[in-house]
Chain A
């Protein structure tokens, strides 16, 4: 009997053994962009004509913008429409998942639109094709002329749902538009959607404009302009077009930038021949001195929590990047690499600082952690600088000057963007030469 029990016991042990769970660690995957199908939006037959908008093509136009946005991220691969089997209206009701899986799509965007009583109503759905279920669905109503923005907002919502981070498509970029020969450059402030459309000029070009910077909380811009050879700092409300002078500052004034709450601007100017960092309260117009050092301190940038300031200074010889508390205490040098470091910009996420580095006659745009560790140089070129962050802290826009002719005569300045991974470098289309870009926060926020 005892033995019988033994045998039973052994059997049970062996049985449980065979059911032990196998674990497999998956630490690698496919780096290819996610294949996504963007079906053209179905145009409701009840739609009415509206001004110049070609209602017939509107669905297709919106989906093209979404596709282009996705393509530009480098994270998605929008599939060609020729391969789509299902009609847009039916797909929007209930996609035949197997049809879409056949063309190797992993996600599908469908939608429809209607213009009625002078209002444009757009709805979209995002489908997870592998799981055969809807991931998100939203509808927007707006004036028909806003159709491009709707496309950007939809892109943002899909991007957020698929990546977990905020999008950056419904945004604008302000920059200095440049025309004419190098010694007689005409510089105007210009603003465009992040995809290069809807360019508008904000100044006439009879004064030199420099370093426009967006307020991180709204659509205000601060920039510098020379009026009778005196630098002035301006505030410009993009929505209303109103401008005001914040103040006249002595000597060389540089790079005004907003604090994260938008209530102050921080900049550097030279007083008594010594350049230091100052803040100015926009309500009270009180100027406060932050650094007091015999060296040249410039290019200040607040951390997103407002507690720290990054800036560059030559106090140790060559120009390097320093971080201090927002009251000017506890100054720490963070860059120790070879070469000259400048234009530090704190990421909106708060985890990285972007900078320009010059070494052996080449210019690099790079990022590092806020303590200076983990420096990564993303791109190298003959001349490039002034990085500015996308509102989600994932992409940098900067400008690059290249020699235009074969013999090096003439030059051209253009805006470029690059992911913080160092991938996906691309040129932004601008109507003229462009420099000093600044990326806005999300318009729809």
Chain B
């Protein structure tokens, strides 16, 4: 009896000792964690806007440029068609403007925080920590309303990708795949606000587990034929593209994707 009691006490004390040794904060002063609460992490791209190291930026810009060129050449209409009526050749001014625009996209410093209007459905589902600051700041909300009024396309994806950790090239690779699969319905009017947002849930191999159109009630509303056509074409593109070539790692980062299909720039030609 006494023997077994001794055994029990010994083993228990060994266990307690092991626990004390393996759980550091029970023995030593814990490392002072609170100051690095990951608030920093959340806001790193938006708030601090830390620029790339000069060299890294150059490389990325070069890559981007190449990518842009490649995409453009892929999509140029057949030579016979693109024949040059005087008015289709962009004026030198316009060309310059285009270049500027690209630069803007590439420069993370110039990306401004913004919020989008989201559907009821989205509000329930998406918690975008990037937008908390914007939600508090009413000035930004006004800005977003203005944006909506002018129907300008927002380039929010770049900003998001920094925060969520998908690299530019990874994101561009995904984008380029969808570009190739999407047959844009060319009959759509260019002066209407047609933006189709599709939310995807991906499997690890890049196949699509679930795809849904946010705002999909709009498809069946009367007078929204063009929206319906665009939404269907976008869904087709996504389905045709699967399995998407996804990054080999970081499944958690890209398992949920939102694709915003906006053909306005293309249709304006």
Contact = CB atoms under 8 A, between A and B. Distances in A.
Contacts of B178: 24, 26, 29
A128 B181 contact: no
Nearest to B184: A29
A19 interface: yes
B42 interface: yes
Contacts of B85: 377-380, 422
A13 interface: yes
A3 B30 contact: yes
Secondary structure of the B contact surface, majority rule: helix
Given A3-B25, A13-B42, A131-B236, A26 B182 contact: yes
Contacts of A131: 232, 235-236, 239
Contacts of B60: none
Interface in B211-253: 225-226, 228-230, 232, 234-237, 239-240, 252-253
A21 B181 contact: no
Interface in A19-34: 19-34
A164 B228 contact: yes
A351 interface: yes
Nearest to A132: B239
B256 A13 contact: no
A54 B88 CA distance: 48
A421 B232 CA distance: 23
Given A22-B253, A25-B260, A376-B87, A163 B229 contact: yes
Contacts of A20: 127-130, 160, 163-164
Contacts of B189: 351
Interface residues of B, number: 75
A199 B212 CA distance: 49
A14 interface: yes
Interface string B108-144: 0000000000000000001111100000000000000
B258 interface: yes
B37 interface: yes
Given A23-B156, A29-B179, A31-B77, A130 B236 contact: yes
B14 interface: no
Contacts of A130: 235-236, 239-240
A333 interface: no
Contacts of B180: 30
Interface string A330-364: 00000000000000000000010000000000000
Contacts of A28: 71, 75, 179, 182, 184, 265-266
Interface string B49-74: 00000000000000000000001000
Interface size class of A (residues with CB under 8 A): 35 or more
Contacts of B130: 20
Nearest to B76: A31
Nearest to A29: B182
A146 B19 CA distance: 90
A9 B127 CA distance: 16
B42 A17 contact: yes
A27 B164 contact: no
Contacts of A16: 127, 129
Contacts of B171: 22, 24
A169 B221 CA distance: 26
Contacts of B182: 26, 28-30
A33 B174 CA distance: 23
Contacts of A51: none
B90 interface: no
B161 interface: yes
Contact of B261 (A26, A164, A379, A394): A26
Nearest to B30: A3
Contacts of B229: 162-164
B127 A23 contact: no
Contacts of B226: 164-165
A7 B153 CA distance: 40
A23 B260 contact: yes
B107 interface: no
Given A106-B236, A164-B225, A26 B266 contact: no
A163 B236 contact: no
Contacts of B86: 377, 380
B152 to A, nearest CB: 12
A375 to B, nearest CB: 7
B185 A163 contact: yes
Given A6-B37, A21-B256, A28-B179, 17 more contacts: A3-B30, A14-B38, A14-B41, A20-B164, A21-B126, A22-B253, A24-B175, A25-B154, A26-B260, A27-B264, A130-B235, A131-B235, A163-B185, A164-B228, A351-B189, A366-B87, A422-B85
14 contacts: A3-B25, A6-B34, A10-B37, A13-B38, A14-B38, A14-B41, A18-B164, A22-B256, A26-B259, A27-B153, A29-B182, A31-B266, A130-B240, A377-B85
Interface of B: 25, 30, 33-34, 37-38, 41-42, 71, 75, 77, 81, 85-88, 126-130, 153-157, 160-161, 163-164, 166, 171, 174-175, 178-189, 191, 199, 225-226, 228-230, 232, 234-237, 239-240, 252-254, 256-266, 269
Closest 8 CB pairs of A and B: A29-B182, A163-B187, A164-B229, A29-B184, A164-B225, A130-B239, A130-B236, A164-B226
